[in-house]
Amino acid sequence: MLRQLMAAGAMSTLGLTSAAADDVTTFTLDNGMEIVVIEDHRAPVVTHMVWYRVGSADEPVGVSGVAHFLEHLLFKATDDLESGEFSATVAANGGSDNAFTSYDYTGYFQRIAADRLELMMTMEADRMNDLILTPEDIETERQVIIEERNQRTESSANALAREQIRAAQYLNHRYGVPIIGWMHEMEQLQMQDTLDFYELYYSPNNAILIVAGDVEPEEVLALAETHYGVIPAEDNLPDRVRPEEPPQRAERRLIYEDPRVAQLYVTRSYLAQERDAGAQEEAAALVYLAEVLGGSSFTSVLGEKLTFENDIALFSGAGYGGVSLDATTFNLTVVPAEGVSLQEAEDAMDVALAEFMQEGVDPEQLERLRAQFRAAEIYARDNVAGIARRYGTALTSGLTVEDVQAWPDILQNVTAEDIMSAAERVFDRNQSVTAWVVRDKEEVIQ
């Protein structure tokens, strides 16, 4: 669907790899705008992206959803373009365009014939500073984002459950507030809220230009200097310091009830270390831990113990998204098999975890995963736009180009001991939320 939200953590753990370092060139303009050029000359196509280091977790209290609302509004008029003309121009040149908002970033991109790059830069630079909004834009587009929330969240029992879980996971950090916003705050979003956000954060010193495809780095730099280099830096750009989590001292448990739930399940999230600049080893171990515990439904620890050795789970899985500016989560989920209660499923999950902590990592499984991460690096080269996204998410989440390029080797060097000690640290029930998602509370609590 168009103009989508990208949930943090949705990135595949397989494939967090980079293009060969020699295909990537970086520059910084005088006004502070960073540039990453990724060359792939197989087809005369280019992906042009501008990423802003601002997302929903940077919003002021009380205006949740404003980052995403503003992303929609960037397709309205500027001093040079009419409302809708941006996308119409991209389409008229045979390209496609879209945008996305997450907790830590907002991004805009076009995919088009490589010789149309300058036109894309002209328009993208224009809307960095010269947006012109009308009251009608605000009224109509607010209805659109409300319909978007209706479609993605209000219509989905699982999405509503995830919101409650995140709200319980984060006691103080804005990661506990949904990217799209709480409905009651979305309904009150005003033009000035969006303009305040725009004027502060949409600035070259808060932006990263990523150009991937059939381009030469020096040509990209020359075009960028012409179009982005003339935009003044924002002097008042604040440091990116969010409210931090206090020590989490108590396990949280919740039951989410919704008659639309088709399958009951139990899910637990633990607060987890993210990838940090120059310190990605813990996150790399957690990437392996998620794969070892729940990556493959056939060969993972939970799959074997809960589905193959016992008839407990219809499905089990583990997930971890390490690219995040602040603390992320590590998640476990079990969907019980027919006739198994949620209490039995949760107990079996905990027994499986306890056994794993005793038994450790199967060396053969570890080597298979290592081979898959290595292969994923080769397969990833087939998708240069995917590599561009990886740089974008990393650079807006506190990482550097060097970190992105070091990541494949860091992954290859993770040991069984690293994984087990990361597991010891992350499985702290005082930092966890356990949720039961049910159709009817009366059915499950007897």
Partner 1 sequence: MMRYVVAAVLALASTAAQAEIEIQEITSPGGINAWLVEEDAIPFVSLEIRIVGGSSLDRPGKRGAINLMTGLLEEGSGDMDARAFQTAREGLAASFGYDVRDDSFVLSFQALNENRDEALALFRQSIIDPTFDDVAVERVRSQVIAGIQRDAQTPNSIAGDAFFAAAFGDHPYGSDQSGTLESVEALTREDLLNAHADVLTRDRIFVGAVGDISADELAEVLDTLLGDLPTGAPDLPADVDFGLDGGITVVEYPTPQSVALFGHAGIERDDEDFFEAYVLNYILGGGGFESRLMYEVRERRGLTYGIGTYLVPKDHAEMVLGSVASDNNAIAQAIDVIRSEWARMAEEGVTPEELEAAKTYLTGEYPLRFDGNGEIAAILVGMQVQGLPADYVINRNDYVDAVTLEDVNRVAGELLDADALHFVVVGQPDGLQTSE
304 binds partner 1 (CB under 8 A): yes
253 binds partner 1 (CB under 8 A): no
Closer of 85 and 245 to partner 1 (Cβ): 85
Among 371, 413, 417, 440, binds partner 1 (CB under 8 A): 371
Cα torsion 417, 419, 424, 426 to 10°: value is: 160
Residue 77 to residues 10, 26, 38, 145, Cα–Cα distance (Å): 32, 31, 31, 18
Closer of 37 and 90 to partner 1 (Cβ): 90
Contacts of 268 (CB under 8 A, 6+ apart): 331, 332, 333, 349, 432, 433, 434, 435
Question: Per-residue x/- marks for partner 1, 204-233, CB under 8 A?
Answer: ----------x-------------------
94 binds partner 1 (CB under 8 A): yes
Could you give the CA distance from residue 39 to residue 393 in angstroms, rounded to a whole number? 18
Residue 339 to residues 254, 305, 334, 336, 368, Cα–Cα distance (Å): 22, 17, 14, 8, 34
- Scored b (16 or more CB within 10 A) or e, 29-68 reads bebebbbbbbbbeeeebbbbbbbbbbbbbbbeeebbbbbb
Among 167, 337, 406, 444, binds partner 1 (CB under 8 A): 337
Contacts of 382 (CB under 8 A, 6+ apart): none
Distance of closest approach, residue 97 Cβ to partner 1, in angstroms? 8
Q: Nearest Cα to 69, choosing from 153, 17, 146?
A: 146
Distance of closest approach, residue 260 Cβ to partner 1, in angstroms? 5
Backbone torsions φ then ψ of 21, nearest 5 degrees: -55, -30
75 binds partner 1 (CB under 8 A): yes
Could you give the CA distance from residue 57 to residue 325 in angstroms, rounded to a whole number? 10
188 binds partner 1 (CB under 8 A): no
Distance of closest approach, residue 75 Cβ to partner 1, in angstroms? 7
Among 378, 409, 442, 446, binds partner 1 (CB under 8 A): 378
Which of 71, 291, 304, 377 is catalytic? The answer is 71
Closer of 60 and 94 to partner 1 (Cβ): 94
Range list of β-strands (E), 175-275 = 207-213, 252-257, 265-272
Could you give the CA distance from residue 362 to residue 284 in angstroms, rounded to a whole number? 17
Closer of 34 and 304 to partner 1 (Cβ): 304
Q: Which of residues 123-182 bind partner 1 (CB under 8 A)?
A: 139-148, 150-151, 154-155, 157
- Scored b (16 or more CB within 10 A) or e, 347-361 reads ebbeebbeebeeeeb
Distance of closest approach, residue 430 Cβ to partner 1, in angstroms? 33
Contact indicator for 323, 397 with CB cutoff of 8 Å: yes
Distance of closest approach, residue 436 Cβ to partner 1, in angstroms? 17
238 binds partner 1 (CB under 8 A): no
Closer of 140 and 415 to partner 1 (Cβ): 140
383 binds partner 1 (CB under 8 A): yes
Among 65, 95, 294, 392, binds partner 1 (CB under 8 A): 95
If binding means CB under 8 A, how many residues of this protein chain bind partner 1?
68
Distance of closest approach, residue 368 Cβ to partner 1, in angstroms? 5
Could you give the CA distance from residue 202 to residue 200 in angstroms, rounded to a whole number? 6
Structure token digits, residue 412 = 């290859």
Contacting range for partner 1; rule: CB under 8 A; set: 41-49, 60-68, 275-283, 416-424: 41-49
Structure token digits, residue 424 = 């010891």
Q: Which of residues 387-446 bind partner 1 (CB under 8 A)?
A: none
Among 262, 363, 409, 446, binds partner 1 (CB under 8 A): 262
State the chain's maximal CA–CA distance in angstroms.
Answer: 70
376 binds partner 1 (CB under 8 A): yes
The residue whose two tokens read 């750009």 is 237
Backbone torsions φ then ψ of 101, nearest 5 degrees: -130, 140
71 is catalytic: yes
DSSP-assigned letter for residue 177 = S
Among 61, 92, 236, 239, binds partner 1 (CB under 8 A): 92
Beta bridge partners of 335: 315
190 binds partner 1 (CB under 8 A): no
363 binds partner 1 (CB under 8 A): no
Catalytic residues: 71
Q: Note the residues at the interface with partner 1 (CB under 8 A).
A: 1-2, 42-45, 75, 84, 87-88, 91-96, 111-116, 139-148, 150-151, 154-155, 157, 214, 259-263, 296, 298-299, 304, 307-308, 314-315, 335, 337-338, 367-369, 371-372, 374-376, 378-379, 381-383, 385
